């Protein structure tokens, strides 16, 4: 459903958020290790999340990646998906046709309208803080 970079982006943001709740910054190596992600690829993911202002970073010996407390509440899962993949999951044809709309629908067009809206609502109503707290509490996990 999401691209690989989006999946890594979601996992990375949750991991960083989990530590940001405790006012800790994390390094690229830590994020890659604890999300089962290749470090080189994770570097690009973290760079994109920082560029889109989902994450913040500081250089130097006390630096690392973090999310401000205010951002923890405001950033939704939808923000991360849009930053990593754009809105294609909501706009592009399910069957990959170049043009698909209500006037000239593909065979799946009307079936997916409701699914896409439900997914948008779910993603937009899920805060990064709530996901990070579930991981911190051991209710959910970032790697197996």
Nearest to 67 by CA among 52, 78, 57, 82: 57
Q: Is the pLDDT of residue 8 over 90?
A: yes
pTM, rounded to two decimals: 0.91
Q: Is the pLDDT of residue 1 over 90?
A: no
pLDDT at 102: 87
> pLDDT band for position 144 (50/70/90)?
low
Cβ count within 10 A of residue 56: 16
On whether the CB atoms of residues 36 and 143 are closer than 8 A, the answer is: yes
On whether the CB atoms of residues 128 and 17 are closer than 8 A, the answer is: yes
Name the helix (H) or strand (E) containing 65: strand 64-66
User: Across all residues in the chain, what is the average pLDDT?
Assistant: 93
The phi-psi region of residue 23 (left if phi > 0; otherwise alpha if psi is between -120 and 50; otherwise beta) is: left
Class of domain 4-136: mainly alpha
Cβ count within 10 A of residue 93: 16
Nearest to 55 by CA among 86, 31, 89: 31
Cβ count within 10 A of residue 54: 24
Spans of all domains in the chain: 4-136
DSSP letter, residue 103 = S
């Amino acid at each position: 459903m999401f691209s690989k970079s989006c999946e890594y982006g979601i996992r990375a943001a949750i991991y960083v958020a989990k530590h940001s709740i405790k006012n800790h910054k994390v390094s690229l190596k830590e994020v890659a290790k604890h999300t089962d992600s290749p470090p080189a690829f994770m570097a690009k993911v973290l760079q994109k999340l920082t560029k889109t202002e989902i994450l913040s970073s500081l250089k130097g010996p006390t630096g690392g990646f973090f999310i401000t407390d205010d951002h923890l509440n405001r950033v939704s899962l939808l923000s991360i998906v849009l930053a990593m993949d754009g809105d294609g999951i909501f706009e592009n044809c399910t069957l990959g046709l170049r043009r698909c709309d209500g006037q000239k629908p593909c065979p799946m067009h009307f079936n997916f309208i409701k699914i896409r809206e439900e997914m948008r609502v779910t993603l937009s109503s899920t805060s990064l803080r709530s996901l990070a707290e579930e991981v911190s509490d051991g209710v959910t996990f970032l790697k197996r």
